[in-house]
Amino acid sequence: MRIAVAISGRGSNLEALLHELGPKAPARIVLVLSDRAAPGLTLAQARNIPAEVLPDSADGDAWLRLLRSYDVDLVVLAGYLKLVPHPVISAYRDRIINVHPALLPGFGGKGMYGRRVHEAVLASGARESGASVHLVDERYDQGPVLARLRVPVLPDDTPEQLSERVLRVEHQLLPAVVLAAARAGRPVVLNESQVTSHLSRTPTAADTGLAARDSRLPE
């Protein structure tokens, strides 16, 4: 399966995908897109993966020209902050997925990203948070949830601490959903035990390093 990844920032979820999608994996990243000159584009460039900045992220025709020129089967939003244009949603219906740093359907919607999500979780008094992967439709974070992984919310958590804990499970969840989609030929629903079974390795110190380098919080 040919994958395009869209990013807006430092790209730790892109890096997690690149770690997991080795030469024998059934999925391959063939294109990385961004709405800005994102630092994460260098991850693609270092691996000779085409990396493109969209001059106008709302231009659906520009999206489609790129996606079709690379024969993309699945679009993965990995820290991409903009709304995907309607023509792209229509052309790739049920073939666009997004990773979100909370347990959807809670704590999603327009403007709910990065620190704002974790502050809202802590303010709510929730005892757990986590990451979700969902199908993308015309509204922010409203598409059907495919998979989730949970983490505890600890009594003395700060937004930064909760962010790092959630990001570690994002790095497990997103590759698992992509691999499952590649094996099935389409995105599929996974429970938490199935997420683990689709990964070829367990989290390592390298994964912890990814979280430390990308907390999704302003620097």
Q: In CATH, what number is assigned to the domain containing residue 209? A: 3.40.50.170
Region 178-190 average pLDDT:
97
Residue 46 belongs to a domain = yes
CA distances from 6 to 52, 81, 99, 140, 180 (A): 9, 9, 11, 15, 19
Asked whether the beta carbons of 122 and 157 are under 8 A apart, the reply is yes
Residue 21 belongs to a domain = yes
Residue 177 belongs to a domain = yes
Write down the mean pLDDT value for the chain: 91
pLDDT computed for residue 213 by the predictor:
45
Does position 73 have pLDDT exceeding 60, yes or no? yes
Region 170-193 average pLDDT:
96
Residue 196: its H or E element: helix 192-197
Residue 219 belongs to a domain = no
The residue segments making up the domain with residue 198 are 2-213
* Token pair 């231009």 in the structure block, residue: 59
Is-catalytic flag, 100?
yes
* Token pair 């995105």 in the structure block, residue: 187
Q: Say which residue, 51 or 204, is predicted with more confidence.
A: 51
Residue 68 belongs to a domain = yes
pLDDT tens digits for range 132-170: 999 999 999 999 999 999 999 999 999 999 999 999 999
Residue 218 belongs to a domain = no
Rounded distance between C-alpha atoms, residue 42 and residue 37, angstroms: 10
Share of the chain above pLDDT 90, in %: 87
Residue 32 belongs to a domain = yes
**Six-digit token pair at 112?**
């709910």
Q: At what angle do helices 159-184 and 115-124 cross, to 10 degrees?
A: 110
Residue 175 belongs to a domain = yes
Question: How many domains does the structure of the chain reveal?
Answer: 1
CB atoms within 10 A of CB 42: 13
pLDDT interval class at 204 (50, 70, 90): very low
Prediction pTM value:
0.90
* Token pair 């929730």 in the structure block, residue: 126
Nearest 5°: the CA angle 146, 117, 36 is 85
Q: Indicate which residue of 19, 100, 118, 198 is catalytic.
A: 100
